[in-house]
Structure 1
Amino acid sequence: MTLFDNQLNIFNTPNQNILPFDGEVLLYPNFYQEDGVYAIFEELKHTILWKQDAMKIYGKVVNFPRLTSWYADGDQEYIYSGVVNTPIPFTPLLLKIKEAAEAQCDKQFNSALLNYYRNGGDSMGWHSDDEKELSGNPVIASASFGATRTFQFKHKTQKNARVSVGLNNGSLLIMQGATQHHWLHQVPKTAKEMGPRINITFRDIKY
């Protein structure tokens, strides 16, 4: 087994699968290249209805180490990490970003989970996007704006199989195939001084 723990940079062939096996993850480092890519971050920062969710751990209420928001078609609620999310209608900017991701994936999305990482202390722990509402082999498109943050994968059974990649401003990461069945992913904390980052994960939820 090879240890896949190197930091990956910009690919010359962006459609190369960055996972060694049991899934497919494609990285497009400069997907959103329009001149206003920094303005996109600012508009998302100031217009998205951010909220501070919390969860109970061993009887104690603990805030998530990031802000979140849930946008979707229709009015169906979605439970994520024990939190009930009531959908907000897509903004024009979110629709534009979503349509570009859909064109790249050849896949329609009806919802988006947004995460706002305010600094290096904000994070997302190890998990798979394997909720029953996603079903089968889900296609998830992840758009990043703002500071570059490390995004890590580790295999659920092959403990030495790991991948680490930097998701930069304007990048698009597509997770598909059997990825969610076999791999966990996270955005780890960092002690480095880090600017804010906004991530949008587009999904197709089956209610």
Structure 2
Amino acid sequence: MQALLFEQGVQRIVEDQTGPITYYPDIITPALAKAWFDTLLNHGDWHESSRMMYERLVGVPRLHCHYDIASSALPSVLRDALAVVKQHVDVPFNSIGLNCYRDEHDSVALHNDKLHELVPHRPIVLLSLGATRTMVIQRKKPPRLKTELELEAGSLLLMGWNAQWHYDHGIPKLRCPVGPRISVAFRVRPEKADKTW
């Protein structure tokens, strides 16, 4: 994996054998981050979903959509975002997943990405657009060290594949009002015959 090309403002959350997890601010300008955010918010193929929790069906507190990078339906804004990300992380991404946190009530609980849905030793890269939200990163085993990281518009978070073994991450609800945020997640998924992820 190619190293990122700049160091100013970089936060290395984890550097040892359980990581890496590294935060890179300002990989794009505020103006470009806003333009991409507006385009995706207004034209993304957003869906609501629900899941069973405590024996009842509940709504997932965020919107989501997914794009296969090889698809002709990939929006041009995501092609542009992929090109920028690949300038910094030289990985053959084939999947882009988006989550839209509409306001302070939307969230995602602490979790790790399912490793069987990822190609081993390929990182996950998150590009943040829109409002700043706090990500909680917590070690699974004692000592359960916890980091709260402010994900700002135009920033990139790199999580190594092995970090999914050792850390959970999530976006908690907030008590104060906040605007919408879009997380653009670049992954390398295993090849599947039906190409449905």
Q: TM-score range by the shorter chain?
A: 0.7 to 0.9
Between the aligned residues of both structures, percent identity stands at: 30
- Shift of residue 154 of structure 1? 0.6
1:36 is paired with a residue whose SS is: helix
Trace 1:1-207 onto structure 2 (pairs within 5 A). Answer: 12-14=8-10, 16-19=11-14, 21=16, 22-33=18-29, 35-73=31-69, 89-207=73-191
2: distance between equivalents of 1:172 and 1:30? 8
Give me the TM-score of the superposition, normalised by structure 1: 0.82
- Shift of residue 36 of structure 1? 2.9
- Shift of residue 19 of structure 1? 1.9
1:200 is paired with a residue whose SS is: strand
Cα deviations across residues 53-82 of structure 1 (Å, max 9, x unaligned)? Answer: 11112331111000000111458xxxxxxx
1: distance between equivalents of 2:151 and 2:184? 12
Matched-pair contact (CA < 8 Å) for 1:19–1:163 = no
- Whichever residue aligns with residue 12 of structure 2, its letter is N
Matched-pair contact (CA < 8 Å) for 1:66–1:117 = yes
Matched-pair contact (CA < 8 Å) for 2:136–2:170 = yes
- Whichever residue aligns with residue 153 of structure 2, its letter is N
- Whichever residue aligns with residue 13 of structure 2, its letter is I
2: distance between equivalents of 1:60 and 1:172? 36
Aligned to 2:194: none
- Whichever residue aligns with residue 115 of structure 1, its letter is N
2: distance between equivalents of 1:173 and 1:102? 13
1: distance between equivalents of 2:113 and 2:84? 22
Structure 2 stretches lacking a partner, 5+ long: 1-6, 192-197
- Whichever residue aligns with residue 61 of structure 2, its letter is P
Structure 1 stretches lacking a partner, 5+ long: 1-10, 76-87
- Whichever residue aligns with residue 167 of structure 1, its letter is L
2: distance between equivalents of 1:35 and 1:13? 19
Give me the TM-score of the superposition, normalised by structure 2: 0.86
